[in-house]
Amino acid sequence: MKYLKIPAATITRLSIYSRALEGMVEDGTPVVSSKTLADLCGVNPAQIRKDLAYFGQFGVRGVGYFVKELLFDIKKILGLNKEWNLAIVGMGNLGCALLAHQNFAKQGYRFVAAFDNDMMKVGRKLATGLMIHPIDELVRVCRDTGAEIGVICTPPDKAQDIANRFLEVPVKALLNFAPVQIQVPDGFKVENVDFTVKLDNLAYHLTAG
């Protein structure tokens, strides 16, 4: 499988297709048409075919896609045929909510390290069995636990310092919940989570309705 320069939006859509396919696997659906899959994912069938065409030949003309097979292939493309180890920094409300959220484990993301600078929290064992470490130990603990992706849930003015520490591990991929732009060198990647982008879609729906 060749990795060309793929649009970021294609990767996001593959991820969304995989969520829909997982639902079908759970329901026992063996085959799906590109029309049905497209409707479920809020895109048009041509988009699905175009997205998949970057990676090869999928589906059977006049039949559709074999659900389990396509899910397996998409997960392989995305690199989800393995578990990924996450390290999370900032054990406030958001950090605790993320650690407890069922989606991560379900999708193969495993928290292996947690950090905070609040001395009331450091050393505490979480319900998941994880221990909260001080941030000064980030580099060492991330190396020891094999952390691959950093999750930043700190206040905005701390986020860049945390990112710098992750780069030293080196952890090359960061999921950033702090409302601030983080600078990283080439080859490192940051995904920012901004809940309000989704709200803008709703505002547009209510306005343009």
Site residues, a second copy (CB under 8 A): 3, 6, 8-9, 11-12, 14-16, 18-19, 23, 42, 77-80, 84, 86, 92-94, 96-98, 100-104, 106-107, 109, 148-149, 156, 172-175, 179, 181, 187, 189, 191, 193-209
User: Residue 10 gets which letter from DSSP?
Assistant: H
Query: What distance in Å separates the CA atoms of residue 145 and residue 75, rounded to the nearest whole number?
Result: 24
Q: Smallest distance from the beta carbon of 61 to a second copy, in angstroms?
A: 26
Angle at 91 between CA 163 and CA 80, to 5 degrees: 65
Q: Smallest distance from the beta carbon of 63 to a second copy, in angstroms?
A: 26
Q: Smallest distance from the beta carbon of 119 to a second copy, in angstroms?
A: 20
Closest CA to 154 of 97, 98, 93, 89: 89
Residue 112, φ and ψ in degrees, nearest 5: -115, -10
Residue 93, φ and ψ in degrees, nearest 5: -55, -45
111: β partners: 86
Residue 176, φ and ψ in degrees, nearest 5: -110, 115
Q: Smallest distance from the beta carbon of 145 to a second copy, in angstroms?
A: 16
Closest CA to 104 of 155, 149, 141: 149
Nearer to a second copy, 75 or 133 (CB): 75
Q: Which two tokens stand for residue 169?
A: 């591990």
Q: Smallest distance from the beta carbon of 121 to a second copy, in angstroms?
A: 13
